[in-house]
């Protein structure tokens, strides 16, 4: 083992998890990312910051990714990307255009020797040493639930809703503008800061009071948030409490965060349901909010009384406590996978990519047929 380890420390491998709001990057054998940076690049033409996920076209995305990866390698990682492997952690629901462009950037522009693509929901379980769990990823753009059973993501049970940081920010913005008439168009980083520092997920018992306008409801103290020295924003107690309610308000299809989880359980085999309910794993930046877990548990219990979920026959939910912060749980899984021989066994090499011109994907029938024929 010692020789192997010394070898691996010489060969630093970058692990990259490009999220819609934040990009986590670090090296294999580390247990925390070196940096968590915003997935933004400065646009050359307008000189404004642009989010990677707001791309217009494949070429536009290509240019932005070239810029982002350049920053990651030469400002933070400080190694040459050429002829080195790289580990990419991505959602199973990542758009094909995005992953193909990323592969193109890495192989053709930065000439990495191989790419190991890992599904974020699966690898998030790695740090728990557990092979079954219901992984709930609440990120910036969307919340995605995928059950993982015995090391296999159950894809037909996936659930996704556009509930995430972006949605919360826009909700907070509308709440704030009603109490602060003078201030319009708060920049998003201020909204984010207000969300992170002032807001929390309240208890479900208080929500009834809040909605019903009952007299016993006493709002939490207001916060005066100084905005750029010249103005201040009044963040009322009600706003602080209400911001995250959007996650649990059922939409027209009666869907919200808690029903997503139950629907996912409903879609898997009966034998696995109990086990999944007892292995809930929450990842993503939004789940780090104060009171998130407690409220989710309450909501799940409440939804169980719903006729739709009575068939589940579940009485208790159990949550895992990750040995890391939730916002880099998937990254950590990638770092653990990348530190093993898995990297040399399963990574897609440059030769393969140049021959096939695409990354293998679960959605691509050609790849599935290939693997089937190979295993046969």
By the rule CB under 8 A, 204 interacts with other proteins: no
SS (H, E, C) the chain: CHHHHHHHHHCCCEEEEECCCEEEEEECCCCCCCEEEECEEECCCCCCEEEHHHCCCHHHHHHHHHHHHHHHHHHHHCCCCCCCEEEEEECCCCCHHHHHHHHHHHHHHCCCCEEEEEEHHHHCCHHHCCCCEEEEEECCCCEEEEEEECCEECHHHCEEECCCHHHHHHHHHHHHHHHCCCCCCCCHHHHHHHHHHHCCCCCHHHHHHHHHCCCCCCCCCCEEEEECCCEEEEECHHHHHHHHHHHCCCCCCCCCHHHHHHHHHHHCCHHHHHHHHCCEEEECHHHHCCCHHHHHHHHHHHHHCCHHHHCCCCCCCCECCCCCCHHHHHHHHHHHHHCCCHHHHHCEEHHHHHHHCCCCCCCCHHHHHHHHHHHC
Of 281, 285, 349, 336, nearest in space to 8 by CA: 336
By the rule CB under 8 A, 200 interacts with other proteins: yes
By the rule CB under 8 A, 79 interacts with other proteins: yes
By the rule CB under 8 A, 18 interacts with other proteins: no
193, 225, 340 from 80: Cα distances, Å? 35, 43, 22
Count of positions on this chain that bind other proteins (CB under 8 A): 93
**Interacting residue with other proteins among 95, 162, 212, 323 (CB under 8 A):** 323
By the rule CB under 8 A, 7 interacts with other proteins: no
By the rule CB under 8 A, 80 interacts with other proteins: yes
By the rule CB under 8 A, 66 interacts with other proteins: yes
Contact 102, 117 (CB under 8 A): no
**Interacting residue with other proteins among 51, 93, 94, 113 (CB under 8 A):** 113
**Interacting residue with other proteins among 65, 332, 348, 359 (CB under 8 A):** 332
The token pair at 118 is 């890992």
**Interacting residue with other proteins among 266, 342, 361, 367 (CB under 8 A):** 342
**Interacting residue with other proteins among 7, 129, 365, 372 (CB under 8 A):** 129
Which positions from 87 to 106 touch other proteins by CB under 8 A, shown as an x/- string?
A: --------------------
Minimum CB distance to other proteins smaller for 93 or for 183: 183
Q: How far is the CB of 269 from other proteins (least distance, A)?
A: 20
**What residues between 247 and 276 interact with other proteins by CB under 8 A?**
none
Q: How far is the CB of 253 from other proteins (least distance, A)?
A: 28
CA–CA separation, 304 and 23 (whole Å): 36
By the rule CB under 8 A, 33 interacts with other proteins: yes
**Interacting residue with other proteins among 14, 15, 16, 36 (CB under 8 A):** 36
| Stretch near other proteins under the rule CB under 8 A, chosen from 93-101, 197-205, 306-314, 365-373 | 197-205
By the rule CB under 8 A, 72 interacts with other proteins: no
Which positions from 206 to 245 touch other proteins by CB under 8 A, shown as an x/- string?
A: x-----------x-xx-x-xx-xxxxx-------x-----
By the rule CB under 8 A, 347 interacts with other proteins: no
**Interacting residue with other proteins among 93, 268, 324, 358 (CB under 8 A):** 324
By the rule CB under 8 A, 351 interacts with other proteins: yes
By the rule CB under 8 A, 372 interacts with other proteins: no
Q: How far is the CB of 316 from other proteins (least distance, A)?
A: 6
By the rule CB under 8 A, 320 interacts with other proteins: yes
Instruction: Give φ, ψ of 185 to 5 degrees.
Output: 50, 60
Minimum CB distance to other proteins smaller for 160 or for 213: 213
């Amino acid at each position: 083992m010692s020789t192997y380890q010394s070898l691996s420390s010489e060969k630093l491998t970058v692990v990259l998890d490009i999220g819609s709001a934040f990009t986590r990057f670090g090296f294999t054998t580390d247990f925390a990312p070196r940096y968590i940076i915003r997935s933004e690049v400065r646009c050359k033409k307008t000189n404004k910051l642009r989010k990677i996920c707001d791309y217009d076209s494949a070429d536009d995305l290509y240019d932005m990714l070239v810029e982002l990866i350049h920053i990651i390698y030469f400002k933070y990682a400080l190694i040459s990307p050429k002829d080195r492997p790289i580990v990419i952690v991505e959602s199973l629901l990542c758009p094909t255009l995005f992953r193909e462009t990323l592969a193109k950037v890495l192989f053709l522009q930065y000439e990495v020797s191989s790419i190991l693509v890992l599904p974020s929901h699966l690898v998030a379980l790695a740090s728990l040493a557990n092979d079954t769990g219901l992984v709930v990823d609440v990120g910036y753009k969307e919340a995605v639930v995928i059950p993982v059973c015995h090391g296999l993501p159950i894809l037909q049970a996936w659930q996704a809703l556009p509930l995430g940081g972006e949605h919360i920010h826009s909700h907070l913005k509308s709440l704030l503008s009603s109490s602060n008439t003078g201030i319009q168009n708060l920049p998003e980083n201020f909204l984010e800061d207000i969300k992170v520092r002032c807001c929390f997920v309240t208890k479900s018992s208080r929500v009834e009071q809040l909605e019903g306008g009952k007299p016993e409801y006493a709002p939490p103290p207001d916060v005066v948030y100084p905005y750029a020295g010249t103005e201040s924003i009044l963040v009322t107690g009600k706003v602080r409490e209400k911001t995250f309610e959007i996650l649990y308000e059922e939409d027209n299809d009666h869907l919200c965060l808690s029903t997503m989880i139950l629907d996912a359980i409903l879609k898997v085999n009966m034998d696995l349901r109990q086990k999944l309910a007892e292995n809930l794993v929450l990842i993503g930046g939004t789940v780090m909010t104060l009171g998130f877990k407690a409220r989710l548990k309450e909501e799940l219990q409440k939804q169980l009384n719903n006729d739709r979920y009575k068939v589940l026959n579940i009485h208790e939910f159990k949550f895992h406590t990750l040995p890391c912060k939730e916002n880099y749980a998937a990254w950590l899984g990638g770092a653990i996978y990348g530190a093993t021989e898995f990297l040399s066994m399963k990574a897609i090499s440059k030769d393969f990519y140049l021959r096939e011109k695409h990354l293998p994907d679960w959605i691509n029938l050609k790849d599935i047929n290939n693997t089937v024929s190979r295993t046969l």
